Structure 1
Amino acid sequence: MAHPQMFDDDDPWLERVREIALALPGAKEKISHGRPAFHTVKVHCYYGGSLKVDGEWVPHEQSVMLHLPPRERAALAEEPRSYVPAYLGPSGWLGIDLDEATDLVELAELIEESYRTVAPARLIAELEAREG
């Protein structure tokens, strides 16, 4: 059974995340489990997420889920804007809520860091060559 779409295509945060994630070498977008997923060979960023609190689903619709290195993930997990997403959290993923206080430069850095954890070496080399 297909998952229902769990995002609004007109969401301005989704557009910002798309611009950042798709600017990375070889990145593409697909819909996975009803949410936008940005990937090369493996997914490096999801838009939107949720977690279970006391048996109830709590949506985080304007957020990104990222696969970050352990030290960075641990530091960010201490911040109120972060959450451990259902299903993917135990595999090292972290959700970060997006709002008017979100720093777009930091968001781009975090998405790139997540990309670096899963992208093939040739695409990371291409990214580094772009950065010069």
Structure 2
Amino acid sequence: MSEDPHPSKVDDADPHLARVRALCLALPDAAEKRSHGSPTFFTRKVFATFGGSRKGDHYSPIARHALLFLPDASEREALVEDERFFVPAYVGPSGWLGLSFHLVGGVDQVDWEEVGELIEMSYRLTAPASLVRELDERSAH
């Protein structure tokens, strides 16, 4: 991981982060770096971040303990209507959403299959076509 001059916003021992990290890094050519104090997952572009903020409230536990991702435009409206999701500061105007683990509960209360689908959706929207093809090839086997 590269060095980030910002203080860490999350506990590296957080079990939610461990599960998110495993899901993200299992994708083709995915890597992790710290950006603005948060673990960020990317290929050429960022596809997921653990922890963020809400407009006007940079310390909101709802956002600080969340997965930030880019949903498909066709899914966004339905997700926004679900109380577990929110529009994060900074990246929200670009279409990103957050899934608050603070609102969902403990690691055993999270639907990790759903989280994996959200991460994969964001990955597919941001990764190069060659990596999306590689992901499709993996899924076919």
TM-score range, shorter-chain basis?
over 0.9
2:84 aligned to 75, 78, 81, which one?
A: 81
Question: Deviation at 1:40?
Answer: 0.1
**Per-residue CA distance 1:63-95 (angstroms, 9 max, x = gap):** 100011112111101111111000100001000
Match of residue 46 from structure 1: 49
**Per-residue CA distance 1:22-77 (angstroms, 9 max, x = gap):** 0000000000111000000000000011103xx44324222100011112111101
Identity %: 49
Using the alignment, how far apart are the partners of 2:128 and 2:49 within structure 1?
A: 18
Question: Deviation at 1:2?
Answer: 2.5
Amino acid paired to 1:130: R
Amino acid paired to 2:125: T
Task: Name the structure where strand makes up a greater proportion of residues.
Answer: 1
Question: Which secondary structure does the structure 2 equivalent of 1:124 belong to?
Answer: helix
Gapped regions of structure 1 (runs ≥ 5): none
Task: Name the structure where helix makes up a greater proportion of residues.
Answer: 2
Amino acid paired to 1:107: V
Match of residue 105 from structure 1: 113
Match of residue 37 from structure 2: 34
TM-score of the superposition, structure 2-length normalised? 0.87
Count of aligned pairs: 130
**Per-residue CA distance 1:88-132 (angstroms, 9 max, x = gap):** 000010001122332011110110011000000000000000001
TM-score of the superposition, structure 1-length normalised? 0.93
Using the alignment, how far apart are the partners of 1:111 and 1:5 within structure 2?
A: 22
